[in-house]
């Protein structure tokens, strides 16, 4: 009794065609590298890989002249964590992570919007996504303004 040889099926690529040995090895190496990179980001403070800070941060508004006017934005460093604070008017301030939620690029203020240089995501003064690479808005942090002390406290 002769057994028929077992049929092997090759993995399929995104185009539905079988992947050859070279393509399989290349993809496997890419996945291994991505796995190593992902595991090296484990200390970033959140399951999404977005870094965070863990202590309330109080800043003196007088140290950031741009925050003296409505629409002003200032970069703030919270123990190595990049964030922006925006004067929204009427004693209201917004605090946002400057880490793009799409792929972790460092978002920059361009005069009237935040822009991620990696894939072009754009965010308004309130950190809400406005265009470019679709993603969620910038991470918001709760703030409390103390007019008497001229300070702003940002909660993690």
Give 76-89 pLDDT, tens digit per residue.
Answer: 988 788 999 999 99
The pTM is what?
0.65
pLDDT tier for residue 51 given thresholds of 50, 70 and 90: low
What pLDDT, on a 0 to 100 scale, did the predictor assign at position 55? Answer: 87
- To the nearest 10°, report the CA torsion of 93, 95, 101, 105: 110
What pLDDT, on a 0 to 100 scale, did the predictor assign at position 81? Answer: 86
Q: Is 27 left (phi over 0), alpha (psi -120 to 50) or beta?
A: alpha
Burial profile 80-100: b = 16 or more Cβ within 10 angstroms, e = fewer: ebebbbbbeeeeebbbbbbbb
pLDDT tier for residue 38 given thresholds of 50, 70 and 90: very low
Nearest to 138 by CA among 65, 92, 85: 85
The Cα angle at residue 119 between residues 116 and 121, in degrees rounded to 5: 50
């Amino acid at each position: 009794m002769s057994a028929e040889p077992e049929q092997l099926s090759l993995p399929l690529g995104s185009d539905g065609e079988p992947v050859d040995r070279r393509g399989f090895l290349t993809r496997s190496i890419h996945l291994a590298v991505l796995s190593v990179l992902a595991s090296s980001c484990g200390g970033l403070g959140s399951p999404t890989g977005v870094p965070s800070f863990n202590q309330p941060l109080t800043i003196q508004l007088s140290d950031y002249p741009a925050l003296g006017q409505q629409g002003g934005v200032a970069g703030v460093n919270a123990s190595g964590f990049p964030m922006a604070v925006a004067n929204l008017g009427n004693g209201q301030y917004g605090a946002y992570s400057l880490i793009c939620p799409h792929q972790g690029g460092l978002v920059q203020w361009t005069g009237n919007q935040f822009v991620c240089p990696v894939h072009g995501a754009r965010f308004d003064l309130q950190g809400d996504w406005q265009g470019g690479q679709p993603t969620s808005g910038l991470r918001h942090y709760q703030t409390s303004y103390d007019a008497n002390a001229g300070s702003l406290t940002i909660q993690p």
